[in-house]
Amino acid sequence: MDKSELVPVDFKQEASLRQVLEPPRAILSSREIAWKHLHFEYHYHAAHETPEHYPTQHVVAIQTEGQILAERRIDGQLQREQIAAGDVCIVPAYTPHWIYAAGEQGLIFLCIEPEFLKQVAYDAVDSEAIFLRAQFAKPDPFIHQIGLSLKHVLQSDPLGSRFYAQTLSTALAAHLLQHYCDRTSLLKREGDRLDRAKVRVAIEYINDRLTQKLSLAEIADATGISQYHLCRLFKQVTGQSPWQYVIQQRIEIAKQQLKTSKHTIAEISDRLGFSSQGQFSNFFRKHTGISPMTYRRKI
């Protein structure tokens, strides 16, 4: 399936989450507390099937209750699973995911910002090129206990939970780095430094032209490498394709313009290089969970 056809899901946005879990039925969430680097959701689900989607955070799903049969597809790989309490599944950010779960289950979702995992990696091992591996359901007592501890503190002391959550976020990131990540040092190898410099040139080129029409060929020409090589390096360094990065940055600019300018939605769409207002609205809704008009009204 073409990735443009998949549903992007930001677990921090209830409207976005509702696209794949309807109704989401969050029994407990850190949404109102807004923990730094980590978002928490606790759900209880009947049998359900999600559409093919991808999360915009790294998602660690922890089974807390129930024993179910499921079929799951992660990044094109299909596997039948028998999932029990204490089992953990990991879906890296921007990785296609689909599941059919045949029974009732309690689930904790720990959603980690990719940049936070990169920063912990850099601080720990002088490496920013970290690749979180997808993981089908299997027991992981350490992650299971972190999930239960965060659930408890969010229930018992939500307003005082931030520091505790930050501490456990770091512990979780360190555990993921040790057991579920591949990493290479971009700072210790000359070839990797050159590759990273190419991506930096591409990012600067994109940022200078976000209000213009952009093509992958133009970006590749600016860096002096092939389109294929650019896409591969860009994904390795940023976790996103060049197109995903362009759309994300344009949506951030659009949010500011909706807040501070009197431009119409059609004018903002045109100024940011979208092919039509409809395309702009579709991308805006996918990234934020709401339409540009609704976003402006809520400000």
Which superfamily does 190-298 belong to? Homeodomain-like (1.10.10.60)
Start-to-end C-alpha separation, the chain: 36
Dig out the tokens for 36 from the structure: 């730094």
The pLDDT, as a whole number, for residue 121 is 79
Per-residue pLDDT of the chain (299 residues; tens, 9 = 90+): 445 578 889 999 888 888 888 665 678 999 988 898 999 999 998 898 999 999 999 999 999 999 999 999 998 899 999 999 999 999 999 899 999 999 999 999 999 998 888 888 776 655 556 788 999 999 999 999 999 999 999 999 888 888 889 889 999 998 998 899 876 543 444 456 667 788 889 999 998 888 887 888 889 889 888 887 788 888 888 888 888 888 889 999 999 899 888 889 999 988 888 878 888 898 899 888 999 999 888 87
The pLDDT, as a whole number, for residue 189 is 45
The pLDDT, as a whole number, for residue 270 is 87
- CA-to-CA distance for 185 and 28, rounded, in angstroms? 38
Dig out the tokens for 51 from the structure: 């559409």
Contacts of 108 (CB under 8 A, 6+ apart): 40, 41, 42, 61, 62, 64, 147, 148, 150, 151
Q: 152-161 long-range CB contacts below 8 Å, 24 or more apart?
A: 154/28, 154/30, 154/33, 154/40, 155/28, 158/32, 158/33, 159/33, 161/30, 161/33, 161/35
- Domain(s) labelled CATH 1.10.10.60 in the chain stretch across 190-298
- CA-to-CA distance for 289 and 9, rounded, in angstroms? 8
- Domain(s) labelled CATH 2.60.120.10 in the chain stretch across 3-184
For 3-184, give the CATH class.
Answer: mainly beta
CA distances from 267 to 117, 271, 280, 296, 297 (A): 37, 6, 11, 14, 17
